[in-house]
Amino acid sequence: MRILFEYLKNQGIDASKLLNEPTPDEVDRVLIRYPLQRWISHLQCAAVRLGDPLLGLHLGKTVTPAHFGVIGYIFASCPTLGASLLRLQAYQRLIQEVEQGGLEAPIIDGSDLVLRWPARSSGGHGRLHLEFGIATLLQFSKCISSKDVEWKQVSFINPEPSSLHAYRDFFKCEVLFNQAATSIRVPLHSLTVPLKKPEPVLVALLERQANEFLNQLPTENEFVMSVRRCITSQIHEGEPELDSVASKFNITPRTLRRRLDQCGTSFRVLLEKIRQQLAKQYLLDPTLQLSDIAQLLGYSEQSTFQRAFLRWTGLTPNAYKRSV
């Protein structure tokens, strides 16, 4: 979502106003979960406002590893492009909400690696999402690889557009439409391309962090996910209150408590989990002091944050930073 906000800002457009969406936190890369249909709707809205039917390609071209935080650094620190691509399926839920149609296990077909996203009803709006995803993968591969990357074929489930020129020019390979699945075909020799900054020790450390994030990803229903997003959007302004969150949903605090209880959680549990996850991400940023992190998490005192972190992990924040 942050990529789209940055792109619109560079086009002189107020994304928050256009999309009716709070500006994403510039540090958080994992916690806030956006339902897929909401993301697709925002892409369509932006494309109409810009008059750009190729927004998926143009937006994908602006992607950098930094946009994906921990996951971006994992992919960029692998020894080869193949090692990076083969991690994509394992960590795709940290990149976006994965509904029906997530990446299948990579397969070897002759002299090619095939990454395949199974068929789903995409419609005209889903086209932008699929094109952005494949364009992002190509751009990301270019950013982290030490030399040019060759793709053999890109296939889309989408209907064929009136002109294929922009797609062929962007992907530099055969581009097919009206296919049974969206997929990319990469020659096996491209997988051996060394990356610019391989750091195997860093990969091992960050994968431990990423796996922990995966284990903590919400599996709740849409209501709980919405409450999580609301808490996260308020947390930098001070400790979110039950009453203020309930008002965002036009329900009473009592109703909010009851509905969360029916989902097997509570407002306090969600707030604690959000703070813990955000704290671990913020501690990876060397530019943030502990006092800054405490403020970002809605604590009025740094000491309160330090005690909470010790309770969550058994480590002080500084000890945790040294461990990762």
Domains of the chain: 2-192 (3.90.1520.10), 218-323 (1.10.10.60)
pLDDT at residue 85 greater than cutoff 80: yes
Q: What gap in Å lies between CA 320 and CA 77, rounded to an integer?
A: 21
Residue that the structure tokens 């009025």 belong to: 300
What is the Cα–Cα distance from 3 to 36, expressed in whole angstroms? 15
Using CA atoms, how far apart are residues 284 and 202, in angstroms rounded to an integer?
A: 12
pLDDT, residue 106, reads 85
Sequential DSSP letters for 185-251: EEEGGGGGPBBSS--HHHHHHHHHHHHHHHHHS----HHHHHHHHHHHHHGGGSS--HHHHHHHTTS
Tens-place pLDDT, residues 41-58: 899 999 999 999 999 999
**Strand order of the sheet with strand 153-155?**
107-109, 112-117, 182-187, 153-155, 174-176
Q: Of 254, 298, 257, whose CA–CA distance to 276 is shortest?
A: 298
184-241 pLDDT tens trace: 999 999 999 999 999 989 898 889 888 888 877 655 567 888 898 889 888 877 888 9
155, 179 in Cβ contact below 8 A? Answer: yes
Say if residue 18's pLDDT is above 60.
yes
Identify residue 161 by its one-letter amino acid code.
P
How far apart are the C-alpha atoms of 312 and 96, rounded to whole Å? 26
Q: What is the pTM of this model?
A: 0.67
Which of 171, 127, 179, 135 is CA-nearest to residue 153?
Answer: 171
Confidence of residue 100 (pLDDT cuts 50, 70, 90): very low
According to the model, what pLDDT value does residue 288 have?
85
Average of per-residue pLDDT across 265-285: 87
- Confidence at residue 221, expressed as pLDDT on a 0 to 100 scale: 67
Of 31, 26, 2, 6, whose CA–CA distance to 231 is shortest?
31
pLDDT tens digits along 284-323: 777 889 998 999 899 989 999 999 999 998 899 999 888 7
- CB proximity list for 279: less than 8 A, separation 6 or greater: 293, 297, 305, 309, 312, 317
Closest C-alpha to 218, from 270, 279, 266: 270
Which residue, chain included where needed, has tokens 């930073």?
321
Greater model confidence, 23 or 31: 23
Q: Which residues have CB under 8 Å from 222's CB, separation 6+?
A: 35
The structure tokens listed for 177 are 């439409």
pLDDT at res. 97: 64
88 pLDDT above the threshold of 50: yes
Q: What is the overall mean pLDDT for the chain?
A: 87
